[in-house]
Amino acid sequence: NAGVTQTPKFRVLKTGQSMTLLCAQDMNHEYMYWYRQDPGMGLRLIHYSVGEGTTAKGEVPDGYNVSRLKKQNFLLGLESAAPSQTSVYFCASSYSLLTGELFFGEGSRLTVL
Amino acid sequence: KQEVTQIPAALSVPEGENLVLNCSFTDSAIYNLQWFRQDPGKGLTSLLLIQSSQREQTSGRLNASLDKSSGRSTLYIAASQPGDSATYLCAAYSMNTGFQKLVFGTGTRLLVSP
């Protein structure tokens, strides 16, 4: 049972380039999330999804887009990368929005030069 | 606005010691509070989840308590082992900042020496 899988694990971009991070979960969870983790700031929610075909903005959505075309996949896109988006990105999923524990992927480290 | 604070930022103890990690939150209107473990370069692993109606949860050598009135949660680790070395984060699921809002603390980095 793989749980939550993120690809790629590492990526270096130049300012202005675009890329997509893929998150896949095999637990049949309805809810999926994208967080970014920066030193001294904790994890911050970028976007989330409450089911296939739905997405919503979190705390820091600017500069990112997401899509949930299939229940098991949640994609995070950067259309024009900026150095401020250098971070570690985590995908998570849960079976319940209010009472369920979160299951995290191992993270994707992105550097924007 | 919900704020979650974890003090100290780092803690070093000898193996075998019992220890307590602290988590404070400013808004007591929470659905639940979760404790996570994060190893270097890895994702977060859920350790314990305490619903707002509960006072504590236990799993093995771990015990987490919740006191909403004082805005505090503690994670008690009994008989610490070097394998417990990691960063421990707490997160409060807040009612007043949007139902999807899980607010994380910045963590306590624990080092257990043999």
B91 touches chain A (CB under 8 A): yes
B42 touches chain A (CB under 8 A): yes
Q: Which residues of A touch B (CB under 8 A)?
A: 4, 40-45, 48, 56, 58-59, 90, 92, 97-99, 101-107
- Smallest CA-to-CA distance from B98 within B31, B50, B48, B53 is with B31
Neighbours of B59 (CB within 10 A): 11
B102 touches chain A (CB under 8 A): yes
- Map tokens 């930022």 to a residue: B9
- Map tokens 């319940």 to a residue: A96
Mean of pLDDT over chain A: 93
Q: At B27, is the secondary structure helix, strand, or coil?
A: coil
Percent of chain A with pLDDT over 70: 96
Instruction: Examine the pLDDT at A27 and tell me if it is beyond 60.
Output: yes
- Mean pLDDT in each 10-residue stretch from start to end of chain B (114 residues)? 91 97 93 93 92 94 96 97 97 73 90 96
Task: Give chain A positions within 8 Å (CB) of B34.
Answer: 101-102
Helix, strand, coil percentages, rounded to 5, for chain A: 5, 50, 45
Mean of pLDDT over chain B: 92
**pLDDT value at position A99?**
67
**CA closest to A91 among chain B residues:** B43
Identify the residue with better confidence: A108 or B99. A108
Instruction: Examine the pLDDT at A113 and tell me if it is beyond 70.
Output: yes
